Amino acid sequence: GRKVLIVYAHQEPKSLNGSLKRVAVEELSKQGCSVTVSDLYAMQFEPRATRNDIVGCLQNSEEFNYGVETWEAYKRGCLSNDLIEEQKKVQEADLLIFQFPLYWFSMPAIMKGWMDRVLVQGFAHEFPNCYDSGLLKNKLALFSFTTGGSKEMYAKGGISGDIRYVLWPMQHGIMHFCGVKVLAPHICFAPEYVSEEKRKEMLIAWAKRLKTLWKEEPINCSPEWYFK
């Protein structure tokens, strides 16, 4: 069976994000997938990239360089336990699902901190091994999120601009950079401003998509997809 890691960032299990995560666990498990959830708030995941991420001596104790130190620590097996644990989950997963509410045109800080700390050089990328030759190639990722604004606001001519512009740093700058192939995002627009009935429909649509998810082709990860 395939392995799925859901990285989930919401404080409230009863939220729509909580329900979307639950639907994904249920539906994918039904398909025989092995599903792991990193519930970042419940884990009290540390989002700050600090000296504490390296166990033991630094390469250069005079001047701290996080990128260099974590790269060296990864090679020596000297990263902190929480990072080793998350990297192991990523390593084993065929599919990464990121479930979150959109905050300020981006992911919540706790999830960005997960990206900053877990996807270190040597593990996820190592120049020139990035983009199509990134170290996490052969994996898929899907960003599933809710917005505060309506679909119209995130349309090409809308006040917030095309939602694809918002996805560029997350899908292209992080996932594609690490070699991960990206499936089309799953977006629930403005759930707080719709009826209970509509929210139920959002969950049904997500469950339906998950049934045929493995047949989907990744998006064309090129600037054209985002800015055409």
Contacts of 2 (CB under 8 A, 6+ apart): 31, 32, 33, 34, 94, 95, 214
pLDDT on residue 113:
98
Taking the C-alpha atoms of residue 98 and residue 191, their distance in angstroms, rounded to an integer, is 18
Query: Which residues fall within 8 angstroms of residue 228, CB to CB, at 6 or more apart?
Result: none
**Yes or no: domain 3-227 corresponds to CATH 3.50.50.60:** no
| One pLDDT digit (tens) per residue for the chain, 228 residues | 999 999 999 999 999 999 999 999 999 999 999 999 999 999 999 999 999 999 999 999 999 999 999 999 999 999 999 999 999 999 999 999 999 999 999 999 999 999 999 999 999 999 999 999 999 999 999 999 999 999 999 999 999 999 999 999 999 999 999 999 999 999 999 999 999 999 999 999 999 999 999 999 999 988 998 997
φ and ψ at residue 145, rounded to 5 degrees: -150, 165
Burial call 166-175: b when 16+ CB within 10 Å, e when fewer: bbeebbbebb
pLDDT at 221: 83
**pLDDT, position 228:** 79
Task: Sketch the domain layout of the chain as residue ranges.
Answer: 3-227
Could you tell me where the beta strands, DSSP code E, fall in the chain? 3-8, 34-39, 95-101, 140-146, 181-182, 186-188
